[in-house]
Amino acid sequence: MLTKLTEQNKITLPSSVTEALGPVEYFEITLENGQIILTPVKVQRSDAVREKLAELNITEQDIADAIAWSRGSSAPQ
């Protein structure tokens, strides 16, 4: 397959490639032996985690206590 690099340094991936990959928003890019390699990456959204913790009323202290408990030490008071 052939694609073109635009003056704005953009390329378009062929639809057959994007359809085979499924929904992908980010790629890790590496250069090996003159070849550009794009690897799909799932980015975990920290904001979504923070929102869920807030929804469940879980505080930073709750997390610290849970970590201390799991490590076998007493949680700081």
Number of separate domains in the chain: 2
Give, for all 77 residues of the chain, the pLDDT tens digit.
889 999 999 999 999 999 999 988 889 999 999 999 999 988 777 878 888 899 999 999 999 999 999 998 655 55
**Token pair for 50:** 């923070």
Secondary structure E strands in the chain: 26-32, 35-41
Q: Do 36 and 60 belong to one domain?
A: no
Q: Do 38 and 53 belong to one domain?
A: no
| pLDDT score for 62 | 93
| pLDDT score for 50 | 84
Predicted TM-score (pTM) of this structure: 0.51
Q: Do 3 and 29 belong to one domain?
A: yes
C-alpha span between 29 and 35 (Å, rounded): 10
C-alpha span between 36 and 76 (Å, rounded): 50
Q: Do 1 and 38 belong to one domain?
A: yes
Q: Do 32 and 64 belong to one domain?
A: no
Q: Do 14 and 27 belong to one domain?
A: yes
Structural domain boundaries enclosing 7: 1-42
**Token pair for 28:** 């890790």
Place of tokens 């799991």: 70
Place of tokens 């970590």: 67
